[in-house]
Amino acid sequence: MGGPASSLGVHSATDSLEEQAAARVAAAVCGKRVVLLGELPDHGHARGFGVKARVVERLVANCGFRAVLFEAGSYDFFGLEQAIATPRGPVSAAAGAPHPWTWAGRADSLQLVLDRAIGGFWWTRELTEWRRWLLHGAVTGRVAVGGLDDQPSATAAYARATMPRLVGAAVPPARAAECREAVARYFRWGYTETLPYDSTEQARLADCSRLAADRTPAAPTSVQGRTLDEIMLGDLATYFAREARVAGAPDRDLSMAQRLAWWSARLPRDTKIVVWTATVHAARGPGSPPVLTLGVPPLGARLAETWGDQLAVIGFTALRGEWSRAGGPTQPLDPLPPHSLEARALAAGTAGDAAGWAFLDQAALRSLGPVPSRLFGGVKTTDWSAAFDGVVVIRDEAAPTFEPRR
């Protein structure tokens, strides 16, 4: 391939794949304000998860990043924020650290709240210690954690318990019972043959949630002036409007971009943010020639308009191996053509299987020109330098070990 092997950052499999790859990525993006870390859209790759987790740790420890945001619903992260802010025992004033008794008594319950907020894709043994590290950062105030999505997940226990009541209380009294039950039915997925989740039900949910959002106090100019309940009602209205195909409803990636802007305004000035998402959402653009996987500009493209060169977007992919999602069956990755991005990256300057991973910076991506890759899921051919500032390629992926939470 064109470009020197040193630009690709190919390393021997005798190195720690996670630590070595993470060190390379973190060094490349340390000076940025916003970093998007993608993953293959299957959401089921243990080694990619491991590298991403180590990158986040390094960005927090060495580069001053103080917020970790997820491609996950906002609701249960707000529930976690409120749970952390409600002490149930003495708290030590030293460095803001919780008293050991308090931490021991609350760690398990708070961990469950965080895990439910993040979502089942990442309930893996390989990420267990990392999720504990993240919770400790959130509790001690070192790291803000949050969700960008208006789409509630199946694990959103706080949203399930909270949103029916909020909607019912906000709509006109004549609609309260109907709307409260409609939202509750959605969150427990209580649909039947006689009451299906069809266009009529979607329209009811869109109407109820929009009524609730519109009847809350108008959003003031200061983001601090909006309550978290108001934010959640607005997110739910946006989501149900999109489900009902209401004209003008923002697409999911635009909604996530708007929520990141809200977080940036809410956090202390110049807070550095890392985002855990999928590669199809992280992309700066659809590539060149364009590959419109989502049918709309991805989250990364929306953020690039605001953040410019203060944004870094890192894609993750694999040459071969296995994957599984949220406890589903283990499946092999589809084979790639011999001239794929993945194959060429790992062939550069290596001997056969001697390399466990490679990092392609934007110059190396540009030198490849349009090549096929699985970065967007199915194999697509494009100039990947138009979509990413760097790409991590793992030679042999592995399926994660799923550990269900309550």
What angle separates helix 199-215 from helix 157-170, to the nearest 10 degrees? Answer: 70
Domain co-membership, 184 together with 201 = yes
Confirm whether 391 is domain-assigned.
yes
Domain co-membership, 193 together with 274 = no
Domain co-membership, 197 together with 63 = no
Domain count, the chain: 2
Give tens-digit pLDDT for 24-75: 999 999 999 999 999 999 999 999 999 999 999 999 999 999 999 999 999 9
Query: pTM higher than 0.85 for the full model?
Result: yes
Note down the domain range covering 173.
Answer: 157-246
Whole-angstrom distance, CA of residue 278 vs CA of residue 273 = 16
Weakest mean pLDDT among 284-293, 361-370, 371-380 = 284-293
Domain co-membership, 29 together with 140 = yes
Give tens-digit pLDDT for 118-151: 999 999 999 999 999 999 999 999 999 999 999 9
Whole-angstrom distance, CA of residue 326 vs CA of residue 119 = 9
Domain co-membership, 213 together with 64 = no
Last residue of a domain, one of 246, 277, 294: 246
249 in Cβ contact with 238 (< 8 Å): yes
Give tens-digit pLDDT for 239-298: 999 999 999 999 999 999 999 999 999 999 999 999 999 999 999 988 777 787 888 999
Check the CA dihedral 226-229-231-234 and report its sign. Answer: negative
| Predicted local distance difference test score (pLDDT) of residue 372 | 97
pLDDT of 102 > 70? The answer is no
Give tens-digit pLDDT for 7-23: 444 444 435 888 999 99
Q: Which two tokens stand for residue 334?
A: 């589809």
Domain co-membership, 31 together with 111 = yes
Pairing of strands 272-276, 355-361: unpaired
Domain co-membership, 225 together with 356 = no
Confirm whether 405 is domain-assigned.
no
Confirm whether 252 is domain-assigned.
no
Domain co-membership, 47 together with 186 = no
Confirm whether 257 is domain-assigned.
no
Domain co-membership, 128 together with 196 = no
Domain co-membership, 12 together with 138 = yes
Last residue of a domain, one of 246, 278, 295: 246
Last residue of a domain, one of 212, 246, 280: 246
Confirm whether 240 is domain-assigned.
yes
Residue 265 Cα distances to 153, 276, 301, 325, 375, angstroms: 25, 19, 19, 34, 31
Give tens-digit pLDDT for 171-198: 999 999 999 999 999 999 999 999 999 9
pLDDT of 221 > 60? The answer is no
Domain co-membership, 102 together with 230 = no
Domain co-membership, 202 together with 335 = no
| HEC letters along 96-126 | HCECHHHHHHHHHHHHHHHHHHHCHHHCEHH
| Predicted local distance difference test score (pLDDT) of residue 17 | 83
